[in-house]
């Protein structure tokens, strides 16, 4: 399909999606004539519409609504646009505070009049666009999805409305494909797999948002960090270790307190002093930088640490490993001279891309997080912000396709985020690089330049994974628990056929362990079939069934994850093969 066609189809689909939301509103208003209407745009994969309903409803109403929407589609209802004057529009909606607010906003924005769409008896303030007639809508290609609360205009100070989400596509097949993707995503849910594969748990008694990594999860975590450590050593990073709390005064200097007061664990008071569980590693790394005088010859100084921080995320925001209260950032702070920024940004970008390639994230995009011009939440002066934003853009121009996202900056500086698609096509913000002129100023950081003058360095904050917890959560879903060999908690599972083979299996296990291969032995009094089934469920990369044949022959029959045919191979060859794959961190088995 040509690009033009794609765009055209996309536009058609958006009209369809938006039009179904109007039909849904018709169906709702037939049931509850007094319903207030909030916003109702098309979105990726479908649409939603907010309602102020006289009573609370549940998804049980969906079949009834869907049936009615299908009937409406078949009635060949026309969508007609007309302009209404502000005066008239305000009069029409005099009892509707939501519409009144929207109309006032349009007026402020300098519009001449207000656009309305009429479909049958249903007339609604709406800028469109819509289908000409419901004939254009495929009645079998939409489905109501879920019901949720949503604040009017997205502000938690406002009333909460009822939002109904729907999915809509141009064909039933696309809808079915999308539903299949969702079903697959549910199967891969890292919270479910995390428990089934023995990777991590969250214990309510320990606290929500405070995951406990089990032995197998810890193997993955350590392997990821070891990999990153090696890469960073090659790139000239130095590793530091800092404690989990620091004096409140430190965070007052950095500005993290009271700026993030509401999302931090409150200060701990002891001996007339106050300490804060660290919400960020930067102040500690800055203290290390400041412990000495620095020359331009040393820069850039790159201080790295898997630093655990604690943030009091609101209870409703917590999700498994991907949103937690205690998290370990694969953090580093690069103290650099201004002219080194571009090089350092590129070096971090390269590292992030290497990670993507290694872990099979095939598609990604880059986003520059810039200031929200409306917001006051930023520290530092206009000049340094402009400079920082310019430098990032200059660095990326011609090298990456990027979009600029206003309002996505950190409070101390603009950033560059890498957003990758997983194998199901879902997007995750992974690597982040942030440019900061402000903390160096607040802490009065200096280095001595060529001419013996004191100069101000910049700080580049960066985390290629984001956080170990979140990254592991994403990887669990990305790989559906079937990790590449180098990350697999158990690389080989050995299963004995009968009790006569136990000793041989134990010796084999010891030998493989000596080769630094992670091996697990299953001597349970179970049928071979059952033991295989369990090892398959654990997504074990290699399985060795050991019986009389293996004890007599010098060949092993290896069952490889995802392959039907058994691999016949000698012990030595198998060890070399596996060690080779681990060393290259191969995706294949």
Partner RNA sequence: GCCGGAGUAACUCAGUGGUAGAGUAACUGUUUUGUAAACAGUAAGUCGUGGGUUCAAGUCCCUCCUCCGGCUCCA
Rule CB under 7 A: choose which of 2, 3, 56, 241 binds RNA.
56
C-beta separation of 124 from 92 below 8 A = no
CB-CB contact of 116 with 125 (8 Å): yes
Residues forming a β-bridge with 404: 368
What are the structure tokens assigned to 33, written together? 């004539």
Q: What's the CA gap between 556 and 544, in Å, rounded?
A: 7
For the chain, what is the radius of gyration of the CA atoms?
29
214 binds RNA, rule: CB under 7 A = no
Element (H, E) at 341: helix 341-358
Q: Select from 212, 533, 563, 583 the one that contacts RNA (CB under 7 A).
A: 533
Rounded CA gap, 344 and 470, in Å?
Answer: 25
Does an H or E element contain 43, and which?
A: strand 42-43
- Closest approach, Cβ 63 to RNA, in A, equals 16
Are 430 and 416 a contacting pair, CB within 8 Å?
A: no
273: phi > 0 → left, psi -120 to 50 → alpha, else beta; which? beta
With CB under 7 A as the contact rule, the residue among 92, 536, 569, 587 that binds RNA is 536
Binding pattern to RNA, positions 79-118, x when CB under 7 A?
----------------------------------------
CA distance 486 to 491: 8
Q: Applying CB under 7 A, which part among 73-81, 316-324, 394-402, 442-450 lies near RNA?
A: 316-324
461 is in an annotated binding site: yes
Q: What angle do CA 528, 532, 533 make, to 5 degrees?
A: 115
| C-alpha–C-alpha distance, residues 478 and 472, integer Å | 10
Write down the least CB distance from residue 552 to RNA, Å. Answer: 8
**Min. distance of Cβ 89 from RNA in angstroms?**
25
Least Å distance, CB 424 to RNA, is 13
Hey, which residues between 152 and 171 contact RNA (CB under 7 A)?
Answer: 154-156, 160, 162-163
| Distance of closest approach, residue 2 Cβ to RNA, in angstroms | 33
Residue linked to tokens 């200059």: 394
Query: Is the CB of 530 or the CB of 570 nearer to RNA?
Result: 530
Q: Which is nearer to RNA, 92 or 287 (CB)?
A: 287
Q: Is the separation of the CB atoms in 116 and 123 below 8 Å?
A: yes
Separation between Cα atoms, residue 128 and residue 508, nearest integer Å? 69
Q: Which of 338, 507, 548, 584 binds RNA (CB under 7 A)?
A: 548
Q: Which of 148, 178, 180, 125 is nearest to 48 (CA)?
A: 148
Could you give the string, one character per residue 395-434, with x where binding to RNA holds by CB under 7 A and - elsewhere? ---------------xx----------------------x
46 vs 209, which CB is nearer to RNA? 209
How far is residue 218's CA from residue 127's CA, in Å, rounded to a whole number?
53
244 is in an annotated binding site: no
Contact pick of 125, 359, 532, 578 for RNA (by CB under 7 A): 532
- Quick one: 117 or 378, whose CB is closer to RNA? 378
| Residue 54 in contact with RNA, rule: CB under 7 A | no
Size of the site for RNA (CB under 7 A): 68
The yes or no reply on residue 260 touching RNA (CB under 7 A) is yes
Is residue 62 near RNA by the rule CB under 7 A? Answer: no
Q: How far apart are CA 246 and CA 284, in angstroms?
A: 8
Q: Which residues are documented as binding site for Zn(2+)?
A: 282, 333, 461
Binding stretches for RNA (CB under 7 A): 56, 58, 146-151, 154-156, 160, 162-163, 191, 195, 202, 204, 208-209, 256, 260, 263-264, 279-280, 282, 311-320, 323, 377, 410-411, 434, 461, 497-500, 524-530, 532-533, 536-537, 543, 545-550, 557, 559, 566
């Amino acid at each position: 399909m040509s690009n033009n066609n794609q765009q055209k189809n996309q536009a058609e689909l958006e009209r369809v999606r938006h039009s179904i939301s109007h039909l849904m509103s018709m169906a709702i208003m037939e049931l509850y004539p007094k319903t207030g209407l909030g916003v109702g745009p098309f979105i990726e994969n479908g649409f939603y519409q907010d309602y102020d309903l006289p009573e609370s409803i549940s998804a049980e109403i969906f079949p009834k609504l869907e049936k009615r929407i299908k009937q409406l589609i078949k009635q060949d209802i026309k969508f007609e646009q007309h302009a209404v004057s502000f005066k008239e529009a305000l009069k029409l909606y005099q009892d509707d505070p939501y519409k009144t607010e929207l109309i006032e906003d349009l007026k402020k924005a300098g519009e001449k009049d207000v656009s309305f769409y009429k479909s049958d008896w249903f007339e609604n303030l709406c800028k469109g666009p819509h289908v000409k007639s419901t004939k254009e809508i495929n009645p079998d290609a939409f489905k109501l999805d879920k019901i949720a609360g949503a604040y009017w205009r997205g502000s938690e100070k406002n009333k909460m409305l009822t939002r109904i989400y729907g999915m809509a596509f141009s064909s039933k097949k696309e809808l079915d494909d999308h539903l299949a993707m969702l079903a697959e995503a549910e199967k891969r849910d890292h919270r479910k797999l995390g428990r089934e594969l023995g990777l991590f748990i969250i214990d309510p008694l320990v606290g929500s948002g405070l995951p406990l990594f089990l032995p197998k999860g810890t193997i993955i975590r350590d392997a990821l960090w070891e990999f990153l450590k090696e890469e960073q050593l090659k790139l000239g990073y130095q590793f530091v270790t800092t404690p989990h709390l620091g004096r409140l005064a430190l965070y007052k200097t950095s500005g993290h307190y009271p700026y993030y007061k509401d999302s931090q664990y409150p200060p701990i008071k002891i001996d007339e002093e106050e300490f804060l569980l660290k919400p960020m590693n930067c102040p500690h790394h800055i203290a290390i930088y400041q412990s000495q005088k620095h020359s331009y010859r040393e820069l850039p100084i790159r201080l790295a640490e898997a630093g655990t921080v604690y943030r009091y995320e609101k209870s409703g925001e917590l999700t498994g490993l991907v949103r937690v209260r205690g998290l370990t950032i694969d953090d580093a702070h690069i103290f650099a001279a201004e002219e080194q920024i571009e090089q350092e940004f590129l070096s971090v970008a390269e590292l992030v891309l290497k990670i993507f390639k290694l872990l099979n994230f095939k598609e990604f995009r880059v986003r520059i997080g810039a200031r929200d011009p409306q917001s006051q939440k930023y520290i530092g002066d206009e000049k340094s912000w402009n400079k920082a934003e310019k430098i990032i853009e200059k660095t990326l121009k011609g090298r990456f396709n990027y979009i600029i996202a206003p309002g996505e900056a950190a409070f101390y500086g603009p950033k560059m985020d890498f957003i990758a698609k997983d194998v199901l096509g879902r997007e995750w913000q992974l690597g982040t690089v942030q440019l900061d002129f402000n903390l160096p100023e607040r802490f009065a950081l200096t280095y001595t330049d060529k001419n013996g003058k004191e100069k101000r360095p910049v700080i580049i904050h960066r985390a290629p994974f984001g956080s170990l917890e979140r990254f592991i959560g994403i990887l669990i879903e990305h790989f559906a628990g079937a990790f590449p060999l180098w990350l697999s908690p158990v690389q080989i599972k050995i299963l004995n056929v009968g009790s006569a083979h136990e000793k041989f299996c134990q010796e084999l296990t010891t030998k493989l362990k000596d080769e630094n291969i992670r091996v697990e032995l299953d001597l349970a009094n179970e049928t071979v079939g059952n033991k295989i089934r369990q090892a398959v469920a654990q997504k074990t990369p290699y399985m060795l069934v050991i019986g009389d044949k293996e004890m007599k022959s010098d060949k092993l029959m290896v069952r490889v994850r995802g392959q039907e045919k058994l691999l016949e191979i000698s012990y030595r060859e198998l060890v070399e093969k596996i060690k080779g794959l681990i060393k290259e961190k191969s995706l294949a088995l």
